[in-house]
Structure 1
Amino acid sequence: MQQDSRLHKQVGSQSSAPEALTGGYVAEGFEPVAHAFQAAILSGEALGAACTIIHRGETVVDLHGGWKDTAREHKWVGDDIALVYSLSKGLTGMAAAVAVSRGLFSYDEPVADIWPEFAAHGKDAVTVGEALSEQAGVAAIDYKLTLENIGDEAAICDAIARQKPNWAPGDYAGNHAYTLGWIASEMIHRRDPQGRRLPQFFAEEVAGPLGQDVFFGLPESFDRDRIARIKGFGMPDLFINHTTMPWALTFKMCLPGTLAFRTLNNPLILQGPEALDSEGFWRVGQGAAGGMASARGLATLYNAFAEGGEKLGITPEVMADLIKGHHYPRKGLKDKVLTADMYYSHCFEKPFSAWEFARTRSAFGSFAVGGSLAFCDPEDGVAYAWITNQLGTAKWDDAREKLVRDAFYACLENRS
């Protein structure tokens, strides 16, 4: 891996804001990725961002740029972290894969065998795989969440167990925006011999062994100056600056009583995701939206799976399940919450005909509100992470991120 010192000079000479900076490393042959990354920063469309890409064990891209605060006083540096919203779901999927590999439970096992109370209102047949693939129908819960009670996992999991499904489990999938993390955490807690919940289990069994700054529940000792703060969007932006988010979702998110409103606005009633970027939420360790991570950390964790999972004790059988993907819902891929097709699988998203985010269908990862994306492709040997602190309004394929990803794959084609 080599440092592209020219990168810094180009920024200073081309930017209309001379104090702006992009920096980092690219391997020989991947210079176009640096130029694409620069374009996202210099356009002003990304306040700050970072991207790390590993190919067959070699870090070929490690870039950072822009600002980690809206006052534009502090530059984003390579090991800074940010709240990564639904990229958290993929991290939870990693923890679940470790749990399955350890024999704590199986993807085919009914959740109610692990958590008997979950069987209420006809959820008795829901399997672990279905629940982790967002087919259980508990995307919206009647329990009123607040930033004050969102750390009370025991009470929230009791509410999830009592919840009447939003649809017949297995018929559809729908974005379990928050509940996915608690479902996984409760299953781990009930079967782990030490009784650990997700934050501790993840720290000790996933991030810790790989030595990475990726957290569920930010430690008090972590330097807060290394956190890139979020510049979000308000509900009016969804209409005024509408990009590729489905119009049906845009309207339903604002209409009380709809499934989208009940799912996405509990706890944040029309406040927008920026409201989660707070000390209180950082500390909670919410497993579907509360992860804190650097791009380097995300790529390193995904690389463990790109290489087959042995570093984390992932069994070949579990890797095969992740690569193959969970079966589709009985009535198709249309997300009951987001109103667009999505392919959820074991806490990850998988490529499918409408969104081929990688070169092969072996890939799995997660995207997040605002445009961040992280995934691995075991067949291609790729681990990829792109995160930003300026939230866009795209459904997926955020234009800033996709520019970088397309440049990477073009370089990879030329390298082959």
Structure 2
Amino acid sequence: MSATILGSAERGYEAVAEAFAKAFDGRPAMGAALHIVRDGHTVVDLWGGVADARTGRLWGQYTPSVVFSCTKGLVSILAARLVQEGRLDYTVPVSQYWPEFAAAGKAAVTVGQALAHQAGLSAPRADLSEDDIVDWERVTAALAAQEPLWPLGTGYAYHALTHGWIAGEIIRRVTGMSVGQYFSNLIANPLGVDAWIGLPAAQADRVAHLQVSPPLSALWADEASKPAPNWPYKAMTLGNALPADLVSDNGGFNTQRIRAAEIPGAGGIASAEALATIWSATVVPTRGIKLLEPPVIAEATKVQSEGASVFGGEPPYSRWGYGFQLDSPARRYLDDQCFGHDGAGGQVGFADPRRRIGFGFVTNWMMGPEDQRATEIISALRASV
């Protein structure tokens, strides 16, 4: 039985709507939404499926969901805005803003290197617990004290979760606000969108319940069987803090305790409409808000990290600027000028400066490398514009 797709797509975007509907084929427990903004105007607004398979609650127009590493893209917008305002510099040491970070040989690590996954802190050396990761000061103190996992300047490795605490603490030191507070003040509240880094309790019952597809679970089970230290695996679990899938039926990012904590490497909660609106506002005035100007976008999206990481891995490889995920064989956008970030399980948000587009796709049916849902939607969009 196919999911009922609600919403609308403007004329010329029929193929995009068809690709979105196709994403539900063979996935009866899936819920998802797609939102596309062009020139500040919504051209695609679609949703369907099940927000919570346990209760049968359907996905609504503004259903929020955990967007995982899409949160890194949102935090990178915050950092770029501070650069634009002259309050932050990608080229200076992190320790200029956060003196404790200079410990254990990290005095020379720059803000840009930290944002580009080059700081050597992709995983904690000491195992963290769930109690640890909901305590901001405890995690940031541990990262500040830690010796890097590899020598500075010798490569990069994806900081799957630690990236958010590092970037977020830099932002806190500059602004005097937590990353969640700054995000709300600068972006979510002015744009009037359903997006949070640190979910308020009043919103808890609206969030989609996440499920993990069998191939993704099998992938992480295989990773778990590899000999220690398996730093890429530990980058996801942080030791004992999270399941490798990031969720279980009643654990990880399916719990309000984790969602309420400010975990800016993966814990953002947003609707597809929110993601698309935010990314639109980075490149074109949207709802009266323009977040970034072309010079800072050009600086922030220069390639900093690409190819194989210091821990190896198989292609296709991603490519990053200063926190922003760029077009690459691992994540195709509309062209090489686009910037954004995808997230575990299939989430995608990005901006296209040339076509003045903001894009958001969110789903609660988490898939692994076999996932082509967003890729096919983006391909249809590319052909339509």
**Normalising to structure 1: TM-score of the pair?**
0.84
CA deviations 1:28-59 (Å, max 9, x no partner) are 11112222211112431761111111223232
Match of 2:15 among 8, 17, 32: 32
Asked if 1:237 is matched to 2:217, the reply is yes
Higher mean C-alpha deviation, range 130-139 or range 140-149: 140-149
User: Given residue 26 of structure 1, which amino acid in structure 2 is its aligned partner?
Assistant: A
Match of 2:323 among 347, 358, 364: 347
Distance change >3 Å, CA 45–CA 306, structure 1 → 2: farther
Distance 2:266 2:345 in 1: 12
Q: Which residue of 1 aligns with 2:262?
A: 285
Contact 1:176 1:263 in 2 (8 A): yes
SS of the aligned residue for 1:53 comes to strand
Asked if 1:259 is matched to 2:231, the reply is yes
Distance change >3 Å, CA 236–CA 95, structure 1 → 2: closer
Contact 1:235 1:270 in 2 (8 A): no
The 5 Å alignment of 1:4-403 reads: 16=1, 20-44=3-27, 47-71=30-54, 73-192=56-175, 195-222=176-203, 224-233=204-213, 237-239=217-219, 251-255=222-226, 256-266=228-238, 267-268=240-241, 270-274=243-247, 275-307=252-284, 311-323=289-301, 325-328=302-305, 333-336=307-310, 339-340=313-314, 341-352=317-328, 354-355=329-330, 357-394=332-369, 398-403=371-376
CA deviations 1:328-352 (Å, max 9, x no partner) are 4xxx521345724221222221113
Distance change >3 Å, CA 163–CA 381, structure 1 → 2: same
Unaligned runs of 5+ in 1: 1-15, 240-248
Q: Report how many aligned residue pairs link the two structures.
A: 376
SS of the aligned residue for 1:361 comes to coil
TM-fit CA distance, 1:92: 0.8
Distance 2:209 2:99 in 1: 40
Tell me the C-alpha RMSD between the 2 structures.
Answer: 2.3
Distance 2:361 2:194 in 1: 15
Whichever of the two has the greater Rg, that structure is: 1
Distance change >3 Å, CA 316–CA 235, structure 1 → 2: closer
Distance 1:113 1:326 in 2: 24
TM-fit CA distance, 1:284: 0.3
Distance change >3 Å, CA 173–CA 271, structure 1 → 2: closer
User: Given residue 384 of structure 2, which amino acid in structure 1 is its aligned partner?
Assistant: C
Distance 1:34 1:316 in 2: 31
**Normalising to structure 2: TM-score of the pair?**
0.90
- Structure with the larger strand share: 2
Contact 1:252 1:261 in 2 (8 A): yes
Contact 1:175 1:336 in 2 (8 A): no
TM-fit CA distance, 1:308: 7.2
TM-fit CA distance, 1:313: 4.8
Unaligned runs of 5+ in 2: none
Identity of aligned residues (%): 31
CA deviations 1:223-280 (Å, max 9, x no partner) are x3421110124688325xxxxxxxxx87444433111122122144655212322110
